[in-house]
Amino acid sequence: MRDNTMKTILISGGGGYLGTELSQKLLNNFKVIIFDKFYFPWILKNKNKIKNNQNLKILKKNISAVKLSDFKDVDIVCDLNGISNDPSSELNPKHTWKVNYNHRINFAKIAKKAKVKRYIFNSTCSVYGFSKKKVYENGKKNPISTYAKANLKAENYINKLKTKTFKVNSLRNSTLYGFSNSMRLDLVINIFVLNIMKKKKIEIDGDGKQYRPFISVNDVCNIYEKLISNDKLPSFVCNIVSFNSKIHNVAFKICNILKVDKKIITFKNNSTDKRNYIVGSKKFIKYFGKNFKFANFSKEILHLRKGLKKNKIDFSKNTIRMKFYKNILK
């Protein structure tokens, strides 16, 4: 019989950039199982220092090895599985499809068989790829990368598994930013902040006029917690976006916040970024409320700088996913 006093949440990929922070957030109110190979082991190494760690269980496994028994007494799954970001996915497209599509749909099917009540699929706004018009949940999808194509196909498959007793929620995240103990420095805002700190410059691919939606890691963690806490919410697909901005405008804002001259910004005009999309949501307020407060951008940037400095984080194969995957996919 399941424990009705405290939900048990299984977070696959819970050792990654988002998962590390989400796991710690959810431990405040839930039992948490982290299912992860732990290529990025911060949470594994620091388990005894984590608040409420008595409610934390670790399953050190690859998603290809998932079994029905792994979901024993699990109420909700947060699926953060997969090879992350567009460049990493192109290193070995065949492998990306195997992990981000085949393994993820298998994971969901076994979770359903185990009678998990809700399955939260961590998707991406990259499914929109390129669009001149603002895109919403039911709008045209135009995935450009292997990462986006595999995610969209997995999302569509898993959405069809939904029933009254197996709710499926696909959250299409914007480009993430913000500090995490399992840091990623292949995300544009994070790159800009560290480059200011280390190199005293920001280099932008192309003219910087391409639009992109953004959201902080803290915001996504709060959204997950709201969804997990409300049993009445139905199955749905929802874009998760705090703000949209041209890349060069984001760079200008960061310079203002960190009090550095905008002249440090340069442009690589021989480089192009084909992705361009402005994202909106017609469902977010309905499911998460009109009073949901997104993080203050200035405070997040200052917190990011503080975390990078305190933890002496720099560009490396552990903070840049493409460098890491190049090493393991040899």
Q: What is the pLDDT of residues 5-26, one digit of tens each?
A: 799 999 999 999 999 999 999 9
* Confidence at 328, pLDDT banded by 50, 70, 90: confident
Helix (H) or strand (E) holding 304: helix 297-310
311 in a structural domain? yes
- Please say if the pLDDT value at position 305 is more than 90: yes
- Please say if the pLDDT value at position 254 is more than 70: yes
Q: What is the pLDDT of residues 198-222, one digit of tens each?
A: 999 999 988 899 999 999 999 999 9
Gyration radius of the chain's alpha carbons: 19
Tally of domains in the chain: 1
pLDDT for 1: 36
User: If you average pLDDT over residues 139-154, what whole number do you get?
Assistant: 95
257 in a structural domain? yes
CATH of the domain at 98: 3.40.50.720
Return the percentage of the chain with pLDDT > 90, whole number: 88
Distant-in-sequence, close-in-space partners of 290: CB < 8 Å, separation ≥ 6: none
Tally of CA atoms within 13 A in the half-sphere of 174 that contains its CB: 30
Q: What is the pLDDT of residues 28-47, one digit of tens each?
A: 999 999 999 999 999 999 99
pLDDT for 326: 85
3 in a structural domain? no
- Interatomic CA distance for residues 42 and 15, integer angstroms: 7
1 in a structural domain? no
- Please say if the pLDDT value at position 146 is more than 70: yes
User: If you average pLDDT over residues 295-322, what whole number do you get?
Assistant: 96
- Please say if the pLDDT value at position 158 is more than 50: yes
Residue with tokens 């199982």: 33
Q: Which domain holds residue 64?
A: 8-328
175 in a structural domain? yes
Residue with tokens 């200052």: 302
- Please say if the pLDDT value at position 296 is more than 90: yes
- Interatomic CA distance for residues 137 and 262, integer angstroms: 35
pLDDT for 169: 98
User: If you average pLDDT over residues 172-191, what whole number do you get?
Assistant: 97
| Closest-CA residue to 137 (of 276, 243, 238) | 238
177 in a structural domain? yes
Give the three-class secondary structure for 270: coil
- Please say if the pLDDT value at position 101 is more than 70: yes
* Confidence at 122, pLDDT banded by 50, 70, 90: very high
203 in a structural domain? yes
Average pLDDT, the chain: 94
User: Does residue 88 contact residue 325 with C-beta atoms inside 8 Å?
Assistant: yes
Q: What is the pLDDT of residues 228-241, one digit of tens each?
A: 999 999 999 999 99
pLDDT for 330: 60
50 in a structural domain? yes
